[in-house]
């Protein structure tokens, strides 16, 4: 399983990231102190580090200097939004730079991109008795294959990667259709209805008022 280290001095943010990345199938550890992060990196192997800049003990730039020779990909997650801060982080070797506040779905997507760049992608996703083999692009439910269209498959992957998280209609449409969402279009709604039927998720894939949809599952 892919292992991710979260380093942020705000525990609520660590918890939010941990919950959502764990739901997407990643194993996470979180610390709020820079020196503690360095000690943990010395003891354990991580596939990716999500790193804040303003930290007690040692700041994110110090940690980046320490991590660079280890070839561990890093995504900076910080409230420092000025161009010079982003440039400094990227010049130090960070793979990406995400400014707070951010949408969880964007964080998951950026994590996937960086891991894919380093050939460390998740090969399988699970939600209850549903398994998605990302390499073979095959979906099974209870061990039996389920045939999906490309759009249905794209929606399924997004929902499983963001289990128990409400996803905006605009986000779903823009990521799966790669186009701007039109409020009067029923395309997304019809695809979600078909996905519900095929996956037997009539009670699991719920509509969230004025937001979009949420997949409610355990495991």
- Domain containing 104: what range? 3-117
* Whether residue 10 sits in one domain with residue 101: yes
Here the tokens at position 29 are 């550890």
* Whether residue 49 sits in one domain with residue 133: no
Tens digit of pLDDT at every position of the chain (219 positions) = 789 999 999 999 999 999 888 877 788 999 999 999 999 999 999 999 999 999 999 999 999 989 988 889 999 998 877 778 778 878 888 899 888 888 888 898 899 889 888 877 667 888 999 999 887 889 999 999 999 999 999 999 999 988 888 899 998 998 899 888 787 779 999 999 999 999 999 999 999 998 999 999 876
Domain C-terminal end among 99, 117, 135: 117
* Whether residue 12 sits in one domain with residue 86: yes
* Whether residue 174 sits in one domain with residue 93: no
Q: How many domains does the chain have?
A: 2
* Whether residue 194 sits in one domain with residue 151: yes
* Whether residue 48 sits in one domain with residue 32: yes
Residues 140/50, Cβ–Cβ less than 8 Å: no
Domain C-terminal end among 75, 93, 117: 117
Domain C-terminal end among 117, 140, 158: 117
Could you tell me the CA-to-CA distances from 142 to 30, 83, 102, 131, 146 in Å, in that order? 34, 49, 35, 8, 10
C-alpha 111, offset from chain centre:
6
* Whether residue 129 sits in one domain with residue 99: no
Q: Could you tell me the CATH number of the domain that includes residue 85? A: 3.40.50.2300
Residues 117/110, Cβ–Cβ less than 8 Å: no
3-state secondary structure of 71: coil
d(CA 208, CA 164): 11
* Whether residue 134 sits in one domain with residue 112: no
* Whether residue 24 sits in one domain with residue 109: yes
b/e for 68-88, b at 16 or more Cβ within 10 A? eeeebbbbbbbebeeeebbeb
Q: Could you tell me the CATH number of the domain that includes residue 146? A: 1.10.10.10
pLDDT tens per residue, range 141-168: 999 999 999 999 999 999 998 888 889 9
* Whether residue 150 sits in one domain with residue 60: no
Residues 47/5, Cβ–Cβ less than 8 Å: no
Here the tokens at position 130 are 């549903």
């Amino acid at each position: 399983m892919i292992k991710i280290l979260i380093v942020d001095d705000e525990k609520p943010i660590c918890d939010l990231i941990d919950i959502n990345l764990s739901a997407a199938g990643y194993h996470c550890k979180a610390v709020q102190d820079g020196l503690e992060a360095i000690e943990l990196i010395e003891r354990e192997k991580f596939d990716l580090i999500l790193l804040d800049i303003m930290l007690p003990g040692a700041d994110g730039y110090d940690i980046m200097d320490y991590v660079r020779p280890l070839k561990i990909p890093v995504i900076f997650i910080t409230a420092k939004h000025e161009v010079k801060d982003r440039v400094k982080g990227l010049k130090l070797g960070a793979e990406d730079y995400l400014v707070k506040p951010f949408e969880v779905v964007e964080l998951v997507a950026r994590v996937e991109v960086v891991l894919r760049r380093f050939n460390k992608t998740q090969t399988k996703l699970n939600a209850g008795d549903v398994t998605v083999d990302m390499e073979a692009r095959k979906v099974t439910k209870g061990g039996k294959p389920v045939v999906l269209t490309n759009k249905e498959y794209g929606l399924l992957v997004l929902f499983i990667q963001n289990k128990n998280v409400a996803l905006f209609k605009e986000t779903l449409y823009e990521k799966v259709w790669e186009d701007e969402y039109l409020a009067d279009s029923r395309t997304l709604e019809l695809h979600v209805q078909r996905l519900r039927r095929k996956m037997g998720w009539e009670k699991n894939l719920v509509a969230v008022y004025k937001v979009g949809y949420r997949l409610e599952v355990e495991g």
